[in-house]
């Protein structure tokens, strides 16, 4: 666990470029390799519904079917911070990784501690006593919690009842097991248990876990590189030992040293002690984390967010992960990589136009770049290796529907780049960007219904990287829960006929976060009955020009605004879509507070519902009047 004090400031030099803040409300016209709608570009990353401010979140999936969460938190009375003092070991429980129930402080420093009850002053400073980076593990028929004190001493707790809520007792009561922080436990296939802790230490424990059964030794790596590191964790997957730990990166694209607190991964196919492959960054700006499996065997990482590129800071979260064929930890993709035609030899002729025949060009999955660029800075996602000085790329895509909002390039380039759309220059970008940015197309109408061609030329700025997509950014009037949870009042019992009216008394309805459903990914509040009725309010500061619903429905749904029918949605869809709002309901959308009400019914299969409202207005082309004629510009 690391005490971060660095404040990081990022200045954008070009006014046309805006750092991209992930929002699932954006329409993806042409996908980039990095998910433009994922927080920080990390697909599936989501915050947990617990108190903010937790560091070092640790989750155990127990044989009882529940997930248990612990971590480092501030004291309940708020009189100081976790760096100085706290109350002990907190615990939460969840059946689905979405809804969490606090079990309180299951081991209290004041009530339960033995040797760690003491307060310690360092260098004559203020006395300190706080639990750092507790973990919860289940093996040998009970629960175990390794923990460290903020004065760098480590202990292990054992549940006396075999229950996760304890009570817990120190397995060694007369002092710490070892000096250090960030302890973790790992049980191997032969039943032996190992203690891992900071500075790359590992040692086998005695059968009762009360002491080391061998001296501490260092993990070994084939490149003999260590540096600073903490938060060590170990899992075994397909016979391989998978080592992870938390480090600071060594450099950034501009040569600076950002404090991003990344997670790295290494693999050993032999001994638990190593040698392991060289550590490579696996999860950017993660912070001290652990790995666990869900009920279907899928792998997840905890996450709390740190440094300048994280989508949030110090919020307990979870992220779906996977392993490469070589065994390394990686972020689990949820969308296919975009495939481009590309060449590293300067093309001749009108290569930016749709009619150009790129028959000698290769096919490659974006993004293009040197894999080393993925080792620092923001999250990048190299799909095809590019290490030459220049690359030329083309992709043809089809526009099938009306564009919501203003179309923009979604791009990160580590070197000068030029982008053409349908043979016309769309952007000329100098230098490099340290994160993904959005660049407004000079002519929003350059995108045509039907086939379009995007062409890119990029020069390497040292470590090459280029990833491009096109998004549009409609104005959000009433957000869906695609990015952040939105609260609704709801009932599954048939309400009175005026249930959609603004003044309807719904105080006794239940409260829950969308997405409501069952049998579909992304459910925040379970809905398993045949019908659900939902209500929420939202406020408009101005009258929208082209309001539309942003919705997912499975199955039929009716939507109302201030009690007026806004839309009837039949059947189901497989992704969020935009759809028109009926005229009478559109007229209700004036400045002020409004009520959005939804009824959804279930027929067969999965079920789900979430609804919001966006303003899809796109500014028309400006025109200059010349000699009685109108000429677009």
Q: DSSP letters of 536-604? A: EEEEESS--SSEEEEEEEES-EEEEETTEEEEEE-SB-SS-EEEE--HHHHTT-SSEEEEEEEEEE--S
**Token pair for residue 209?**
């876990």
* Percentage of the chain modeled with pLDDT above 90: 67
**Token pair for residue 238?**
């397909």
pLDDT at residue 20 above 80?
A: no
| Mean pLDDT value across residues 369-396 | 90
Is the preceding omega at residue 174 within 30 degrees of 0, hence cis?
no
Quote the pLDDT of residue 311: 82
Return the beta strands (E) in 166-261 as ranges: 168-170, 178-179, 184-187, 193-197, 201-204, 217-218, 230-237, 240-247
pLDDT at residue 306 above 70?
A: yes
Quote the pLDDT of residue 629: 25
- Cα–Cα nearest to 512, from 525, 499, 495: 525
Quote the pLDDT of residue 227: 74
pLDDT at residue 15 above 80?
A: no
Q: Which of the four pLDDT bands, split at 50, 70 and 90, describes residue 284?
A: confident
Q: Which domains does the chain have, with CATH numbers?
A: 47-331 (2.115.10.20), 339-472 (2.60.120.260), 475-615 (2.60.120.260)
- Find which of 242-256, 402-416, 531-545 is predicted with most confidence, using mean pLDDT: 531-545
Q: Which of the four pLDDT bands, split at 50, 70 and 90, describes residue 632?
A: very low
Quote the pLDDT of residue 309: 66
pLDDT at residue 292 above 50?
A: yes
Q: Which of the four pLDDT bands, split at 50, 70 and 90, describes residue 238?
A: very high
Distance CA 235, CA 64 (A): 20
Quote the pLDDT of residue 260: 66
pLDDT digits (tens, 9 = 90+) for 145-194: 999 999 999 999 999 999 999 999 999 999 999 999 999 999 999 999 99
| Mean pLDDT value across residues 81-89 | 94
Q: Are 129 and 108 in contact (CB under 8 A)?
A: no
Quote the pLDDT of residue 174: 97
Quote the pLDDT of residue 240: 96
pLDDT at residue 631 above 60?
A: no
Q: Model's pTM, two decimal places?
A: 0.74
pLDDT digits (tens, 9 = 90+) for 358-368: 989 999 999 99
pLDDT at residue 627 above 80?
A: no
pLDDT at residue 2 above 90?
A: no
Poorest-confidence range of 3-12, 83-92, 314-323, 497-506? Answer: 3-12
pLDDT at residue 465 above 60?
A: yes
Distance CA 294, CA 60 (A): 10
- Cα–Cα nearest to 380, from 243, 279, 242, 285: 285
Is the preceding omega at residue 392 within 30 degrees of 0, hence cis?
no
pLDDT at residue 11 above 70?
A: no
Quote the pLDDT of residue 334: 84
Distance CA 142, CA 156 (A): 13
| Mean pLDDT value across residues 251-260 | 48
Distance CA 196, CA 216 (A): 9
Q: Are 415 and 459 in contact (CB under 8 A)?
A: yes
Nearby residues of 336 by Cβ (< 8 Å), 6 or more positions away: none
Quote the pLDDT of residue 318: 96
Q: What is the DSSP letter of 120?
A: B
pLDDT digits (tens, 9 = 90+) for 50-61: 888 999 999 999
Quote the pLDDT of residue 402: 66
Distance CA 393, CA 411 (A): 14
pLDDT at residue 18 above 50?
A: no
pLDDT digits (tens, 9 = 90+) for 524-579: 999 999 999 999 999 887 788 889 999 999 999 999 999 999 999 999 988 788 89
Q: Are 598 and 560 in contact (CB under 8 A)?
A: yes
Higher local confidence (pLDDT), 7 or 207: 207
Given the structure tokens 């994922």, which residue do they identify? 38
pLDDT at residue 308 above 80?
A: no
Quote the pLDDT of residue 249: 55
Quote the pLDDT of residue 321: 96
Q: How far apart are the first and last CA of the chain?
A: 57
Phi, psi of 371 (to 5 degrees): -55, -25
The distance of Cα 272 from the centroid of its chain, to the nearest Å, equals 30
pLDDT at residue 123 above 90?
A: no
* Percentage of the chain modeled with pLDDT above 70: 90
**Mean residue pLDDT across the chain:** 87
Q: Are 53 and 74 in contact (CB under 8 A)?
A: yes
């Amino acid at each position: 666990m690391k005490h971060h004090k660095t404040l990081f400031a990022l200045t954008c030099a070009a006014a046309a470029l805006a750092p991209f803040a992930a929002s699932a409300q954006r329409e993806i016209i042409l996908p980039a390799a990095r998910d433009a709608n994922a927080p920080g570009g990390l697909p599936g990353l989501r915050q947990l519904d617990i108190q903010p401010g937790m560091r070092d979140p640790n989750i155990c999936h127990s044989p009882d079917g529940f997930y248990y969460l612990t971590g480092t938190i501030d004291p309940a009375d708020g009189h100081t911070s976790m760096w100085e003092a706290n109350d002990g070991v907190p615990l939460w429980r969840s059946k689905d990784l979405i809804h969490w129930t606090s079990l309180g402080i299951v081991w209290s420093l004041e009530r339960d501690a033995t040797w760690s009850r003491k307060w310690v002053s360092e260098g004559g400073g203020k006395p300190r006593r706080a639990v750092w980076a507790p973990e919860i593990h289940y093996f040998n028929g009970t629960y175990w919690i390794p923990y460290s004190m903020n004065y760098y001493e480590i202990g292990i707790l054992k549940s006396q009842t075999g229950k996760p809520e304890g009570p817990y007792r120190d397995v060694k009561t007369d002092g710490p097991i070892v000096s250090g922080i960030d302890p973790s436990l790992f049980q191997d296939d032969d039943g032996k248990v190992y203690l891992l802790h900071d500075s790359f230490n590992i040692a086998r424990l005695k059968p009762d876990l009360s002491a080391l059964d061998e001296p501490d030794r260092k993990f070994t790596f084939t490149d003999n590189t260590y540096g600073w590191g903490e938060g060590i964790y170990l899992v075994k997957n397909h016979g391989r030992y998978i080592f992870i730990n938390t480090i600071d990166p060594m450099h950034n694209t501009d040569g600076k040293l950002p404090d991003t607190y990344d997670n790295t991964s290494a693999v050993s196919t032999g001994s638990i002690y190593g040698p392991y492959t060289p550590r490579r960054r696996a999860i950017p700006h993660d912070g001290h984390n652990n790995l666990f499996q869900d009920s279907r065997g899928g792998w997840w990482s905890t996450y709390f967010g740190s440094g300048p590129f994280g989508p949030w800071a110090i919020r307990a979260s979870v992220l779906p992960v996977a392993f490469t064929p070589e065994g390394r930890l990686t972020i689990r993709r949820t969308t296919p990589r975009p495939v481009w035609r590309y060449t590293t030899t300067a093309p001749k002729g009108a290569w930016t136009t749709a009619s150009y025949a790129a028959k000698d060009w290769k096919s490659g999955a974006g993004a293009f770049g040197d894999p080393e660029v993925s080792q620092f800075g923001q999250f990048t996602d190299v799909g095809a290796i590019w290490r030459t000085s220049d690359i030329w790329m083309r992709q043809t895509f089809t526009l099938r529907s009306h564009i919501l909002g203003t179309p923009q390039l979604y791009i990160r380039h580590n070197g000068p780049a030029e982008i053409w759309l349908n043979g016309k220059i769309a952007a000329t970008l100098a230098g490099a960007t340290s994160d993904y940015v959005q660049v407004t197309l000079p002519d929003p109408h350059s995108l045509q219904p039907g086939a379009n061609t995007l062409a890119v030329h990029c020069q390497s700025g040292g470590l090459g990287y280029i990833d491009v997509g096109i998004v549009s950014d409609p104005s959000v009037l009433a957000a869906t829960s695609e990015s952040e949870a939105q609260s609704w009042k709801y009932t599954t019992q048939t309400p009175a006929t005026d249930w959609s009216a603004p003044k309807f008394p719904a105080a006794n309805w239940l409260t829950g976060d969308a997405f409501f459903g069952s049998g579909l990914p992304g459910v925040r509040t379970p809905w398993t009955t045949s019908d659900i009725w939902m209500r929420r309010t939202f406020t408009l500061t101005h009258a929208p020009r082209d309001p539309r619903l942003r919705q997912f429905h499975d199955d039929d749904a009716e939507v109302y605004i201030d009690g007026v029918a806004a839309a009837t949605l039949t059947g189901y869809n497989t992704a969020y879509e935009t759809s028109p709002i009926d005229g009478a309901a559109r007229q209700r959308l004036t400045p002020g507070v409004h009520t959005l009400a939804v009824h959804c019914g279930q027929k067969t299969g999965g079920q789900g519902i979430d609804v919001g409202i966006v303003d899809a207005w796109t500014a028309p082309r400006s025109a200059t009047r010349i000699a009685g004629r109108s000429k677009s510009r």
